[in-house]
Amino acid sequence: MSAAIENPGSETRPILAPTGNRVRVVEERRMKREIQSKNSVEKPKRVTSQTLPRRSGGAAVAVVLNNVSADSSSDSSSSCSGSTAKSTKSLCSKRRNVRNSNGIVKPAKIVPNGVEALAISPMVPAPVKRCDWITPNSEPLYTSFHDEEWGVPVHDDMKLFELLVLSQALAELNWLAILSKRETFRKIFDEFDPSSVANFDEKKLLLMKMNGNTLLSEPKLRAIVENAKQLLKIQQEFGSFSNYCWRFVNHKPLKNGFRYSRQLPVKTPKSELISKDLMRRGFCCVGPTIVYSFMQVAGLVNDHLTTCFRYDECNMDFKKNSTPQLEKTEVTREAETTMCTFIASKLREL
């Protein structure tokens, strides 16, 4: 056995063992390399907004959480980046930073991969809210009638006569059936010209019945012809059928403001008043229910639900389409009355 010679500043030579020193030297070198590798590992630095990698837009990729160590954030990020399968990558979440006015980066909502495109896409407009009786399964013709015609104030006499006839047809048909045959109605009744319909005689009615063009019963057809005759008398008395109808509501549509369709009435005291006056003048088949349907479609009353987009639009349509001619006529009548009174007083003084 020989002992190692110790020299200052040099490594100590290992003592020889009975089996030689090769195994011991290998073990000591391996342990030395492990210790050096452990000491050479640097502790992870704390992640800050300055050390974060940046995208092309300048926004930080990672998110700095308050009072959270960098180890937990690195573990969560490594769990996402460590997987190689595409299905696993789609489950990883991305964090998008939000920088406030003070320059502090705050965590935003977590947006999963594949959903980010939907999150930043423009919002899809919500469907238009209509009255309850218009559903997504309603016929386009019926929906267009609701959106463009029902409840719009009407002042044209031929149009008012047409709507009155269609309202009378509701006793035998529904609105969808009437609208689908509307062109046939117009053809039979000469575009709803009251002066032309008033001249229908028995021969004309019989011809309509023989050709199979009668959409309504014979009593209803005779009532329409008689109503056309009485409408001409109203035009002579009031200047127009429009003036006669709108005077019952003081030339301004009535607004009920119902929220639910079950609140809509079938008839009202106002429709009963108009019905009695029409019957007194010789009109037929103009009960309070038919008259109220006529008031609704002609815009004499706005019965769109308050949740419907047409409720406010119909009110705006009345302001735009209100006839200034009617207002001028009333002013002219008042001026004429005042002038006649003034002339009469002067004549008395003389």
CATH number at residue 243: 1.10.340.30
Indicate whether 47 belongs to any domain.
Answer: no
Instruction: Tell me the residue type at 137.
Output: N
Confidence of residue 121 (pLDDT cuts 50, 70, 90): very low
Most confident of 82-91, 166-175, 198-207, 340-349: 166-175
* 229 Rama class: left (phi>0) / alpha (psi -120 to 50) / beta: alpha
Q: Is 340 labeled as ligand-binding?
A: no
Indicate whether 238 belongs to any domain.
Answer: yes
Shared domain for 91 and 147, answered yes or no, is no
Shared domain for 194 and 270, answered yes or no, is yes
Angle between helical axes of 288-298 and 157-169 (0-180°, round to 10): 130
Confidence of residue 207 (pLDDT cuts 50, 70, 90): confident
Shared domain for 261 and 145, answered yes or no, is yes
> What is the per-residue pLDDT for 218?
85
Indicate whether 213 belongs to any domain.
Answer: yes
User: Which pTM value belongs to this model?
Assistant: 0.57
**pLDDT higher at 100 or 239:** 239
Indicate whether 303 belongs to any domain.
Answer: yes
Number of domains in the chain: 2
Using the predicted structure, report yes or no on whether residue 74 has a pLDDT greater than 50: no
Shared domain for 153 and 287, answered yes or no, is yes
Shared domain for 204 and 99, answered yes or no, is no
Shared domain for 301 and 250, answered yes or no, is yes
Q: Is 314 labeled as ligand-binding?
A: no
Q: Quick count: other Cβ atoms within 10 Å of Cβ 309?
A: 13
**pLDDT higher at 203 or 26:** 203
Give the tens place of pLDDT for each residue, 11-41.
444 444 444 555 555 677 777 777 777 666 5
**pLDDT higher at 292 or 216:** 292
Q: Which of 288, 286, 245, 290 is nearest to 155 (CA)?
A: 245
Shared domain for 148 and 201, answered yes or no, is yes
Shared domain for 98 and 170, answered yes or no, is no
Indicate whether 112 belongs to any domain.
Answer: yes
Instruction: Tell me the residue type at 75.
Output: D
The full DSSP string for 191-245 is GG-HHHHTT--HHHHHHHHHTT---S-HHHHHHHHHHHHHHHHHHHHHSSHHHHH
Using the predicted structure, report yes or no on whether residue 87 has a pLDDT greater than 80: no
Q: Which domain holds residue 88?
A: 70-120
Phi, psi at 186, each rounded to 5°:
-65, -35
Indicate whether 20 belongs to any domain.
Answer: no
Q: What CA–CA distance (Å, rounded) separates 228 from 196? A: 8
Q: Is 245 labeled as ligand-binding?
A: no
Most confident of 48-57, 66-75, 308-317: 308-317
Give the tens place of pLDDT for each residue, 123-179.
556 678 999 999 999 999 999 999 999 999 999 999 999 999 999 999 889 999 999
Q: Is 304 labeled as ligand-binding?
A: yes
Indicate whether 254 belongs to any domain.
Answer: yes
Rounded mean pLDDT of 210-229? 83
